[in-house]
Amino acid sequence: MKKILFILIAIFSMTPFSYASHIVGGEITVKWVGPTQNDFQVQVRVFRSCQSGSAGMPTSVSVDLHDLVTYNTVTTWNLTNPVINANIPFSDPCFPVFGICVDEGLFTQNVTIPDNVAGNGYFLEYQICCRNNGVTNLANPSSDGMTFYCEIPDPANTNTLNNSTPDMGSYPLSAFFCVNSTKTFQFNVTDADNDSLVYSLVTPLDDGAMNAAPTFPYNDVLWNVGGGYSLANILNGTPAMTIDQSTGVMTANPSLAGQYVFGVLVEEYRNGVKIGEVRRDAQFQAIPGCQSGNPLFNADNNLTDGMTIPIPYNKLFCKDLVYQDPNGDTLYMEMTSTMFDSGAYVPTMVPDINGDLTYFYNWNGTSFGDSVTIPPNTFDPAVGADLNVGSIGLRFCYTPPCSQIGEIYPFQLSAKSLGCDGESGDTLNFFIEVVPPVYDFKNPGNKPIAFGVEHCTNVVFHDTSLVDLLNIEITSDIFDLGAEIPDLSSSYIYDNDVYSTGYPFSSFSTGVANGAQSQSILATRVCWTPDCEHIGNTYSLKAVLSSVDCPTGIQDTIDFEYTVTPPFDSLGIIPDVITPNGDGFNDVYKISGVSNPCHDNVKVQIYSRWGILIFENEEYPEFEWDGTNKNGTKVPAGTYFVLISGVFGNEIITLDQRSVTVMDPQ
């Protein structure tokens, strides 16, 4: 969020007063320029207010070189002809400011620094008056001046030859505090020798006479202790102003608007030994009304800290990671995972016609709910992360091999924003687990099958998400009883759906993905004609789906059953009146219907009306009675009784009594 400050906000004081207060900070630095070990460049940087009524920039500065131990003055240099950077454009993208006028004066001169006979090293100092009388955290700001101070090693010291001090750089362009709002910032410190730097906050130095050795040569300014200010409480805010000793990042949160001075000490070490230091005297303004924006956030609602994301083996998996910041701040993001050591990678994305890239997120199970189109990221080598403005996205891809099934990779996603709220960050830790893919091997189900009729069952697998070479194998005891797996055509019917493989499968041979690496369709068939001895029995069948490419990956088993049933039986007697005259009509009495040769065993007995057994037969279904007795003699006309017993189909017939009438031929 941007907030325009229409008042005159002094990052450094802009209020003139009778003591010509105008200096708001600065420091001394020393740079080796060669060619000899004694050739250096001394630079004094002075910041002063250029508001109407302020004293002008000095036209020269006088720098004294002192022995570091005895404080004896070795030489004095008068630096003239400063380079003036007028009206430095201090501003901030969140809080643009108007009416500020600060000049930077750079006083530079090449000098010769002699070897120190005692090997003590030197310190350089320059004094200037005066500070602003409106400084909040000092007891007597109007009577306090400044001493710019730095220490350097003896030029003849072989361990520090040709050394340059740390360069403090210009002030940050957003050099102000926000009242009751934590803000981070740092000076642009560099060191040409790549020495180790240690940062600390110090009390600024006053001007005036130099103290005698070994007391530190210059006195500190006095804090406004009545207002609660001290080195431990520079801004009288919570948390107190601090500096990271390794990075130089400062954190501040003043409780009151005003002008505040502070000092930053940068000590340089080489091989664990301190060889010099630079001090900066600084003054910042605390501005009321700074409004905090919203922090950056992970845009994917489905991605949470600690979650595990399952991904199938042997299939390309890609995921987009998106962070956004409602303030439009600069965003940094990086991914860290051991998965990248196992083959995961950041793919090259294809930009659209405008050169932008699109990232997709918030998967709802069937499609992505959201997307963002942004310019390509840039990489900041100083931070070691990708950066973008407002929104940032990264994509990673991985095709895990079969050998990685069960592997769980920790994944850390780190992001931070730099902008209106200073630096804010977020870290997500989650896991990527390689798993077998989800698939559906359909079960044909238990089936009753009839004796004497060929029955075939198709076992079909169809999953467009798989890329494996797959196999289906059926096992059962029925293969020892005559069942077989026939050659198949190129199409298979399952649950009224027709799946075409484009080529046939034979026996236990099974298929390959159908052309494109995104589809697997395969099937096999079992056929069997049960015999008499199978009726009433139940037989188990097992079909196993497996991956040829990855035996430990896809594997599923379905079990189903066959129950053999007898065919339909019907028992009937035609006719119930016979005229055995050989004319072809009703000549015989017989049993009709459908017979089951496996089970049917019927006995037929025919009795006269006086109970005399005149005929019997056990040759069902071939049984016929032509109206003769056991001796083959025709029986008299009349009514006879028929008793049927035995087994018919699955039914035991204990007694079935019927009658038949024999009539004389006409």
pLDDT tens digits, residue range 325-348?
Answer: 887 888 999 999 999 999 999 999
| Most confidently modeled range among 161-175, 196-210, 236-250, 512-526 | 196-210
155 and 266 housed in the same domain: yes
pLDDT of residue 442: 86
Mean pLDDT on 378-399: 92
Q: How confident is the model at residue 516 (pLDDT cuts 50, 70, 90)?
A: very low
User: Is the per-residue pLDDT at 492 higher than 80?
Assistant: no
**657 phi and psi, to 5 degrees?**
-100, 130
pLDDT of residue 13: 38
Mean pLDDT on 533-543: 90
542 and 424 housed in the same domain: no
User: Is the per-residue pLDDT at 14 higher than 50?
Assistant: no
Q: How confident is the model at residue 21 (pLDDT cuts 50, 70, 90)?
A: low
pLDDT of residue 217: 96
DSSP state of 167: B
3-state secondary structure at position 477: helix
pLDDT digits (tens, 9 = 90+) for 545-584: 888 888 888 888 999 999 988 766 566 666 688 888 888 8
- More confident site: 392 or 648: 392
586 and 520 housed in the same domain: no
Q: From CA 165, how far away is CA 483, in angstroms rounded?
A: 93
Q: How confident is the model at residue 451 (pLDDT cuts 50, 70, 90)?
A: confident
**163, part of any domain:** yes
pLDDT of residue 499: 56
Q: From CA 456, how far away is CA 479, in angstroms rounded?
A: 13
CATH code for the domain of 409: 2.60.40
User: Is the per-residue pLDDT at 4 higher than 50?
Assistant: no
Mean pLDDT on 313-320: 91
pLDDT of residue 513: 28
User: Is the per-residue pLDDT at 512 higher than 90?
Assistant: no
User: Is the per-residue pLDDT at 228 higher than 60?
Assistant: yes
249 and 156 housed in the same domain: yes
- More confident site: 72 or 555: 72
pLDDT of residue 597: 66
Residues of the domain holding 606: 570-662
Q: From CA 490, how far away is CA 513, in angstroms rounded?
A: 14
3-state secondary structure at position 338: helix
Contact in structure between 387 and 330 (CB atoms under 8 Å)? yes
66 and 90 housed in the same domain: yes
The mean-pLDDT minimum among 113-122, 221-230, 232-241, 517-526 falls in 517-526
pLDDT of residue 173: 65
56 and 160 housed in the same domain: yes
**311, part of any domain:** yes
340 and 410 housed in the same domain: yes
Q: From CA 264, how far away is CA 654, in angstroms rounded?
A: 116
**Domain boundary pick from 247, 264, 287:** 287
**Domain boundary pick from 268, 287, 306:** 287
Q: Strands 624-625 and 589-594: what pairing?
A: antiparallel
The mean-pLDDT minimum among 161-170, 216-225, 316-325, 608-617 falls in 608-617
**442, part of any domain:** no
Q: Smallest Cα–Cα separation from 19: which of 141, 181, 152, 127? A: 141
pLDDT of residue 338: 94
**598, part of any domain:** yes
Mean pLDDT on 592-620: 80
What is the share, in percent, of the chain residues with pLDDT greater than 90? Answer: 47
**213, part of any domain:** yes
User: Is the per-residue pLDDT at 494 higher than 80?
Assistant: no
The mean-pLDDT minimum among 9-18, 34-43, 303-312 falls in 9-18
386 and 520 housed in the same domain: no
Mean pLDDT on 42-65: 88
**451, part of any domain:** yes
Average confidence score pLDDT of the chain: 84
Compute the CA torsion angle 166, 171, 173, 174 (nearest 10 deg): 100
Mean pLDDT on 170-198: 84
**440, part of any domain:** no
Q: How confident is the model at residue 20 (pLDDT cuts 50, 70, 90)?
A: very low
Contact in structure between 499 and 460 (CB atoms under 8 Å)? yes
44 and 114 housed in the same domain: yes
393 and 275 housed in the same domain: no
Q: How confident is the model at residue 10 (pLDDT cuts 50, 70, 90)?
A: very low
524 and 624 housed in the same domain: no
- More confident site: 140 or 653: 140
CATH code for the domain of 462: 2.60.40.10
Q: Smallest Cα–Cα separation from 566: which of 451, 447, 449, 646? A: 451
pLDDT of residue 349: 93
88 and 146 housed in the same domain: yes
Q: From CA 640, how far away is CA 609, in angstroms rounded?
A: 6
What is the share, in percent, of the chain residues with pLDDT greater than 70? Answer: 84
User: How many folded domains does the chain comprise?
Assistant: 4
277: its two tokens = 């230091």
Mean pLDDT on 516-523: 49
Mean pLDDT on 357-383: 92
Q: Strands 308-312 and 422-435: what pairing?
A: parallel
pLDDT of residue 134: 81
Q: From CA 115, how far away is CA 162, in angstroms rounded?
A: 12
77: its two tokens = 């240099």
**292, part of any domain:** no
Mean pLDDT on 371-400: 93
pLDDT of residue 572: 61
pLDDT of residue 505: 41
Q: What are the C-alpha distances in Å from 64 to residues 77, 147, 224, 281?
A: 6, 11, 30, 18
DSSP strands (E only) in 537-650: 538-547, 555-565, 570-574, 577-578, 589-594, 601-607, 613-617, 624-625, 638-648
User: Is the per-residue pLDDT at 431 higher than 60?
Assistant: yes
Mean pLDDT on 516-541: 76
**Burial per residue of 520-550, b for 16 or more beta-carbon CB atoms within 10 angstroms, e otherwise:** bbbbbbbebbbeeebbeeebebebebbbebb
pLDDT digits (tens, 9 = 90+) for 458-476: 888 777 777 777 888 888 9
Mean pLDDT on 444-467: 83
**Domain boundary pick from 394, 415, 435:** 435
The mean-pLDDT minimum among 100-109, 330-339, 473-482 falls in 100-109
